[in-house]
């Protein structure tokens, strides 16, 4: 302990230690700001928000999509859209690739009569945002519990309209 006191008492050492601490703090601030800028950029991505989406070739044509700034998204449509199967809301991910938004979501289906698992579906999409609208395509594939392809691919165009306050 005495050695530490002696070392710190040397002329210039305390100021060197103070400079090191100041530099370390500056590096941490810059790193935090860079992370904050990336999060802010994602929050301002034009896809972030809530959308009414038409998929004319899907079993039920009207959907709701929500794109979050953290790269996740949700999809929902009326459960009554398919008379034989019930499907869960879709949960997925998205990313920007130049002018395009690319992503996919997964939903699980069950037989309405038996309440047993039928399949899980993966719906991949590419779209381009233009203000409060987007257009693109989606392709659905459905798999059994062992990940074997059962049905698909089923392509459909997509057209979305942003939900906005008056």
Where b means 16+ CB within 10 Å and e means fewer, 130-143 reads eeeebebebebbbb
Closest alpha carbon to 138 in 48, 56, 42, 69: 56
pLDDT above 90 (res 157): yes
| Confidence check: pLDDT of 20 > 50 | no
For residues 60 and 31, the model is more confident at 60
Nearest to 162, CA basis, from 31, 71, 48: 48
pLDDT category of residue 85 using cuts at 50, 70 and 90: confident
Q: Which stretches within 11-76 are classed as H helix?
A: 13-43
Q: What percent of the chain has pLDDT over 70?
A: 73
Q: 23-27, 63-67, 154-158: lowest mean pLDDT where?
A: 23-27
Asked whether the whole model's pTM tops 0.85, one would answer no
Q: Which stretch of 3-12, 61-70, 96-105, 126-135 has the lowest confidence by average pLDDT?
A: 3-12
The architecture of the domain spanning 49-162 is: Beta Barrel (2.40)
- Predicted confidence at residue 10, as pLDDT, reads 52
pLDDT of residue 28: 52
| CA–centroid distance for 110 within its chain | 25
Residue 48 has pLDDT above 90, yes or no: yes
């Amino acid at each position: 302990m005495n050695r530490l006191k002696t070392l710190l008492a040397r002329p210039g050492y305390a100021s060197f230690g103070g400079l090191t601490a100041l530099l370390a703090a500056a590096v941490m601030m810059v790193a935090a700001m860079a992370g904050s800028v990336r999060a802010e950029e994602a929050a301002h991505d034009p896809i972030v928000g809530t959308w009414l989406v038409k998929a004319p070739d899907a079993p039920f044509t009207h959907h709701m999509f929500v794109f979050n700034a953290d790269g996740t998204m949700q999809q929902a449509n009326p459960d009554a859209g398919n008379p034989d199967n019930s499907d869960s809301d879709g949960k997925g991910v998205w990313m920007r690739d130049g002018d395009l938004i690319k992503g996919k979501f997964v939903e699980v289906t069950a037989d309405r009569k038996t309440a047993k698992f039928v399949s899980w579906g993966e719906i991949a999409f590419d779209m381009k945002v233009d203000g409060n609208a987007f257009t693109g395509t989606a392709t659905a594939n459905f798999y059994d519990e062992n990940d074997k392809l059962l049905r698909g691919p089923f392509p459909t165009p997509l057209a979305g309209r942003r939900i906005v306050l008056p």
